[in-house]
Structure formats: C-alpha cells, structure tokens
C-alpha cells in the first residue's frame, strides 16, 4: 500500500489531459473521475431529448447540445458532461477551444443504476452553483419517470414529477412543452 500523498491536479492540467483523452472524465477539486460508457436505452433516450429539444427551440435564441459539451462550475471547481445541455442568449465559453461552457439554462441527465444517487444528490448540488441554470431534468431509463427541478424567483427549486407517457413537461425558462412520449420514443422498458 502506497503512503505517497495523492497529487492535486489543477483544472488546467485536467483540461490538457481531457482534450487528448479517448474517454471522457469528470473533474472535481483536484481529482479526475473516469465516466462509464452508457448502454441502451440511455443513448437512445439522450438522442430523443436532443432531437425533440432541437425541434422545439428552432425559432428561439436557445439551442441544445449533446454530451460533448463540457460544463464548468467555477464556484465548485467542477467539470462534467451532462447528457444534454441547453444554452440560451450569449454563449459563455471558458477559452478559445469553445468546448466548455459555464452558462447553461437547462441540463438533462438520464439516470442509470450506478449514477442516479449522484445525479440527484451531489451533482445537482454542484450544478446549483451555476447562476444561469433554471431547469434540471432527470430522466429514468428503467420506467416512464421524469423529475423536473425548476428554479423559482426566490432561488429555491421546485420538484415536479411526471410518470405517465401522455404527460407533458413544461420548461418555463425555454417556454416549451416537451411530451414524455417523445423522450421515450421507441423505448421498451425491461421487465424486472
């Protein structure tokens, strides 16, 4: 067992490593964490979200990006790749590479068994350090279930849950209604 102290990795070092890496990693306060690859139906749900949001936002100043856009929360020294991110108004890129932003309006995460507690807990806590963030949406891949957190005028977050495939999710900051059957288009839930 090694007694050598763990080396702190700066954000600059992380970005240099990450931009050359074959696989994505998250960064939090000096540590790098490898991200696991997603298995179906996760990527299909992400594609459905990106496609539908792209269509809904086509005539707005907002646009949706897939999980290739890195989000930086400066307050918490956190870098991560949401499954889908919506950027509105003027984009804020952290440097000339234009692959890291710090001003998303909405973030979508598709839950997996291994990440659901993290996405609901610590990750959401870190995301709340983004002053621009107005909507945080968690989508189950095991059943029709969407958790929608919307930032209120007083800074608190309101949770609304949807469980019916015929329900619609209203994203106030984007002024769009998102039908759940579009999120779950061609998704067959596995029997447990």
Per domain, the residue ranges of the chain are: 38-183
CATH architecture of 38-183: Alpha-Beta Complex (3.90)
Q: Helix or strand or coil: residue 82?
A: coil
Q: Say whether pLDDT at 60 is over 60.
A: yes
Q: Say whether pLDDT at 150 is over 60.
A: yes
Global pTM? 0.93
Q: Mean of the pLDDT values across residues 61-88? A: 92
With vertex at residue 150, the alpha carbon angle to CA 87 and CA 139, rounded to the nearest 5 degrees, is 80
* Rounded Cα–Cα distance for residues 54 and 63 (Å): 6
**What φ, ψ does residue 167 adopt, rounded to 5°?**
-70, 160
pLDDT over 90 percentage in the chain: 79
Structure tokens at 150: 């919307």
Structure tokens at 131: 């002053």
pLDDT score recorded for residue 76: 77
Pairing status of strand 84-87 against strand 70-73: unpaired
Q: Mean pLDDT for the chain? A: 92
Q: Mean of the pLDDT values across residues 116-135? A: 96
């Amino acid at each position: 067992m090694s007694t050598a102290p763990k080396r702190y990795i700066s954000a600059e070092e992380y970005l240099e490593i990450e931009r050359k890496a074959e696989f994505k990693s998250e960064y939090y306060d000096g540590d790098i964490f490898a991200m696991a690859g997603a298995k179906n139906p996760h990527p299909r749900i992400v594609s459905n979200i990106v496609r539908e949001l792209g269509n809904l936002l086509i005539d707005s100043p907002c646009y949706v990006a897939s999980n290739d856009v890195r989000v930086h929360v400066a307050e918490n020294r956190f870098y991560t790749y949401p499954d889908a991110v919506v950027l509105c108004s003027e984009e804020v890129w952290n440097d000339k590479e234009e692959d890291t932003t710090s001003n998303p309006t909405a973030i979508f995460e598709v839950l997996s068994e291994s990440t659901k507690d993290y996405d609901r807990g610590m990750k959401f806590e870190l995301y709340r350090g983004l002053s621009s963030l107005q909507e945080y949406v968690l989508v189950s891949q095991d059943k029709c279930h969407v958790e929608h957190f919307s930032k209120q005028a007083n800074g608190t977050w309101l949770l609304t849950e949807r469980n019916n495939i015929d329900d619609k999710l209203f994203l106030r900051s984007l002024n769009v209604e998102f039908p759940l059957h579009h999120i779950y288009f061609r998704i067959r839930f596995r029997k447990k």
